[in-house]
Chain A
Amino acid sequence: MNPIVIILLVVLGIVVILGLWYITTMNALRQLEVKVEEADSGIDVALTKRFDALSKLVGATKGYAKHEAELFEKVTKWRKGLPDNLTMEQKQEFQGRLNEVQSGINVAVEAYPDLKADKVFLNLQNSINEVEEHLQAARRLYNSNVSTINQRIVSFPTSIVAGMIAVAKKDFFEADTEKRADVDVSF
Chain B
Amino acid sequence: MDPLLAYQTKKQQAEKYILIGGPLAVAAVALFLLVGLNDSVFQWISGLLFVGALGFIIVGSVRFNKMVADFKHNFLKDKIGEWIEDGVYKPDQGLGQNTVYGCEFLQSADRYHAEDFISGSLDGVPFQMCDIKLEERRVEHTKNGTRTYYVPFFTGQFYVVDFNKNFNGALQVLETEKPRSKRPFKKIKMESVQFNKTYKTYTTDDHTAFYLITPQMMERMMTVEKNHPGNIGFAFIDNKMYLAIDNNRSLLEVQMFRKLDEARIAGFKADFDLIHDVIHELKLNQNIFKEIA
A residues with a Cβ closer than 8 A to B are 39, 42, 126, 129-130, 133-134, 136-138, 140-141, 143-144, 147
Q: Are A140 and B191 in contact (CB under 8 A)?
A: yes
Closest partner residue, chain A, to B189 (CB atom) = A144
How many angstroms between the C-alpha atoms of A147 and B288 in the bound complex?
30
Residue contact B210 to A129, C-beta cutoff 8 Å:
no
* Contact (Cβ within 8 A) B207 A141: yes
Q: A144-B189, A144-B191 are in contact. Are A137 and B210 (CB under 8 A)?
A: yes
Docked CA distance A33–B163 (Å): 34
Q: Looking at B189, B207, B210, B292, which has the most chain A CB atoms within 10 Å of its CB?
A: B210
Contacts of A39 in B (CB 8 A): 206
Q: Across the two chains, which residue of chain B brings its CB closest to A138?
A: B207
A42 with B207: CB separation less than 8 A: yes
Shortest Cβ distance from B191 into A: residue: A144
What 1/0 mask marks residues of chain B from 173 to 209 whose CB sits below 8 Å from any chain A CB? 0000000000000000111000000000000001101
Identify A140's interface contact among B166, B210, B288, CB under 8 A: B210
| A141 contacts B210, C-beta separation under 8 Å | yes
**Given A140-B191, A144-B189, A144-B191: A133 and B211 interface contact (C-beta under 8 Å):** yes
Q: Does B214 contact A (CB under 8 A)?
A: yes
What is the chain B residue whose CB lies nearest that of A135?
A: B211
| A35–chain B nearest beta-carbon distance, Å | 8
Residues of B within 8 A of A147 (CB): 191
With CB as the reference atom, state the residue of chain A lying closest to B188.
A144
A67-B261 Cα distance, complex, nearest whole Å:
67
Q: Which residue of A has the minimal Cβ distance to B190? A: A144
If A42-B207, A144-B210 are given as contacts, then 13 extra A-B residue pairs at C-beta distance below 8 Å, sorted by A number, are: A39-B206, A126-B292, A129-B288, A133-B211, A133-B288, A136-B214, A137-B210, A137-B214, A138-B207, A140-B191, A141-B206, A141-B209, A144-B189
Nearest-neighbour CB distance to chain B for A138, whole angstroms, equals 6
Most chain-A Cβ atoms within 10 A of its Cβ — which of B166, B189, B207, B292?
B207
Question: Can you list 10 A-B contacts with CB-CB less than 8 angstroms, sorted by A residue number?
Answer: A39-B206, A130-B166, A133-B211, A133-B214, A137-B207, A137-B211, A138-B210, A140-B210, A143-B191, A144-B190
- Chain A hits for B210, CB < 8 A: 137-138, 140-141, 144
Closest to A42 in B: B207
Q: How far is the CB of B143 from chain A (nearest CB, A)?
A: 53
The distance in angstroms between the C-alpha atoms of A134 and B210, with both chains bound, is 9
**Using Cβ atoms and an 8 Å threshold, which residues of chain B touch A140?**
191, 210
User: B189 to chain A: which residues have CB within 8 Å?
Assistant: 144
> Smallest CB–CB gap between B217 and chain A, Å?
11
Q: What is the CB-to-nearest-CB distance from A167 to chain B, in angstroms, rounded to a whole number?
A: 20
**A134–chain B nearest beta-carbon distance, Å:** 6
- A129 proximity list for chain B (CB < 8 A): 288
CB distance from B232 to the nearest CB of A (A): 23
Give the shortest distance, in Å, between A161 (CB) and chain B (any CB): 22
Chain B min CB distance to A133 (Å): 6
- Which residue of the partner chain B has the closest CB to A39? B206
> What is the CA–CA distance of A141 and B203 in the complex, to the nearest angstrom?
13
Within 8 A of A (CB), among B213-245: 214
Residues of A within 8 A of B207 (CB): 42, 134, 137-138, 141
Shortest distance in angstroms between B284's beta carbon and chain A's nearest beta carbon? 15
Bound: A138/B209 CA distance, A: 10
- In the bound complex, residues from chain B placing their C-beta under 8 Å from that of A130 are 166, 288
In the complex, the chain B residue whose C-beta lies closest to that of A133 is B211
Instruction: Identify the 10 closest CB pairs spanning chains A and B, nearest first.
Output: A137-B211, A137-B210, A141-B210, A140-B210, A141-B206, A137-B207, A141-B207, A42-B207, A144-B191, A134-B211
CB distance from B170 to the nearest CB of A (A): 15
Closest to A145 in B: B206
For B214, the chain A residues whose CB sits under 8 A away are 133, 136-137
Which residues of A sit under 8 angstroms from B190, Cβ to Cβ?
A: 144
Find chain A residues with CB under 8 A from B292 CB.
126
B239-293: which residues lie under 8 A (CB-CB) from chain A?
288, 292
Determine the distance from Cα of A42 to Cα of B211 in the docked complex, in whole angstroms. 12
Please name the residue on chain A nearest to B211 by beta carbon: A137
**How far, in angstroms, from A42 to B208 measured CA to CA in the complex?**
12
